[in-house]
């Protein structure tokens, strides 16, 4: 009987030892899994940061490629039109810029918008010409035309969130500046993640209109023109003495 009890005790001790070994193995495994999980979280965060940087770099490259572009809205479509001449005529007649402007290329794109016409994207050869056109955009106030800079969709979506806030600040006489998708009010950067989208999108307004409001207030009155250049949508006489330079950027 004693032998049986000793044998049973030996079995129990063996089971206890085995349980202790299993417990130690499980604890060791749990520790390794926790370390692997932490390492995966660190790597995931690192990869997400790298991905975000890559996306921002791509957006920056896209913005740079669009730097010399302007989008003209509301210019009616005509069959077999010369869109480059049409834009030049528009700049002369509506913006009163009479010097010859050189373009790299001009074409229509996207879906119909103002006046049921597809917008026209024009790539300027010289930055100074593009800026001159933008500065005269206030002359389009109240007309069914539009001029705006071109940005990638991701940037434009961010700007749309900030447009109403920009209008609000300008209405209060504050100094406002929009640089790509960054809004500065009185020199302080507004963090887009702190803007309540529902609050502002219900009062959304085109950035072009915000700029025009400020331009109209700040610009001197436009004197009456002595004569009006006749408009001919089908043909625009462009001097052939000017040499058009093509540039690839």
pLDDT tens readout for residues 5-24? 666 767 777 888 888 888 88
Find tokens 């209008």 and name the residue.
Answer: 167
228-236 contact pairs (CB < 8 A, 24+): 229/92, 229/93, 231/89, 231/93, 232/89, 233/76, 233/78, 233/81, 233/86, 233/89, 234/78, 234/81, 235/82, 235/85, 236/82, 236/85, 236/86, 236/88, 236/89
Q: Is 236 contained in some domain?
A: no
CATH code where residue 134 lies: 3.30.70.1820
Whether 71 and 140 map to the same domain: the answer is: yes
Q: Is 232 contained in some domain?
A: no
Whether 146 and 99 map to the same domain: the answer is: yes
Whether 127 and 174 map to the same domain: the answer is: no
Q: Is 135 contained in some domain?
A: yes
Q: Is 175 contained in some domain?
A: yes
Whether 172 and 214 map to the same domain: the answer is: yes
What per-residue confidence (pLDDT) applies to 111?
A: 87
pLDDT reading at 110 higher than 50: yes
Ranking 109-118, 158-167, 222-231 by mean pLDDT, the lowest is 222-231
Confidence of residue 196 (pLDDT cuts 50, 70, 90): low
Whether 189 and 130 map to the same domain: the answer is: no
Find tokens 């219900």 and name the residue.
Answer: 202
What per-residue confidence (pLDDT) applies to 67?
A: 93
What per-residue confidence (pLDDT) applies to 192?
A: 77
What per-residue confidence (pLDDT) applies to 198?
A: 47
What is the spatial distance between Cα 39 and Cα 139, in angstroms, rounded to a whole number?
Answer: 59
Q: Give the tens place of pLDDT for each residue, 52-71.
A: 999 999 999 999 999 999 99
Domain housing 169: 152-223
Whether 137 and 164 map to the same domain: the answer is: no
Q: How many domains does the chain contain in total?
A: 3
Whether 146 and 73 map to the same domain: the answer is: yes
Please enumerate in sequence order all residues whose Cβ is within 8 A of that of 61, keeping only pairs 6 or more positions apart, or say none: none
Sheet of strand 182-185, all strands in order from the earlier edge strand to the far edge: 176-179, 182-185, 188-190
What is the spatial distance between Cα 188 and Cα 186, in angstroms, rounded to a whole number?
Answer: 6
What is the spatial distance between Cα 40 and Cα 100, in angstroms, rounded to a whole number?
Answer: 60
Whether 61 and 76 map to the same domain: the answer is: no
Q: Is 6 contained in some domain?
A: no
Q: Is 228 contained in some domain?
A: no
Q: Is 240 contained in some domain?
A: no
The answer to whether 76 and 113 are in contact (CB under 8 A) is no
* Domain termination residue (choose one: 91, 118, 150): 150
Whether 158 and 218 map to the same domain: the answer is: yes
* Domain termination residue (choose one: 88, 118, 150): 150
Q: Is 91 contained in some domain?
A: yes
Whether 53 and 108 map to the same domain: the answer is: no
**pTM tops 0.75:** no
């Amino acid at each position: 009987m004693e032998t049986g009890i000793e044998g049973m005790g030996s079995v129990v001790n063996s089971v206890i030892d085995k349980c202790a070994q299993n417990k130690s193995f499980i604890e060791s495994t749990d520790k390794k899994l926790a370390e692997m999980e932490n390492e995966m979280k660190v790597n995931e965060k690192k990869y997400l940061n790298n991905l975000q940087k890559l996306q921002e770099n791509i957006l920056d490259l896209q913005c740079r490629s669009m730097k010399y572009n302007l989008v003209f809205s509301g210019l009616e479509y005509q069959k077999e039109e010369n869109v480059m001449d049409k834009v030049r005529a528009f700049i002369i007649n509506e913006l009163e810029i009479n010097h010859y402007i050189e373009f790299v290329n001009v074409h229509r794109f996207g879906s119909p918008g103002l006046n049921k016409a597809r917008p026209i994207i024009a790539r300027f050869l010289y930055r100074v010409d593009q800026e001159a056109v933008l500065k005269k955009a206030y002359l389009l106030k109240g007309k069914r035309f539009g001029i705006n800079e071109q940005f990638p969709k991701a940037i434009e979506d961010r700007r749309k969130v900030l447009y109403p806030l920009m209008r609000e600040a300008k209405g209060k006489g504050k100094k406002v500046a929009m640089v790509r998708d960054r809004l500065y009010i009185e020199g302080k950067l507004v963090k887009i993640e702190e803007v309540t989208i529902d609050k502002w999108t219900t009062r959304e307004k085109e950035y072009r209109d915000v700029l025009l409001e400020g331009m109209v207030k700040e610009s001197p009155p436009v004197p009456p023109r002595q004569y009006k250049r006749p408009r001919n949508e089908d043909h625009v006489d462009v001097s052939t003495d000017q040499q058009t330079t093509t540039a690839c950027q």
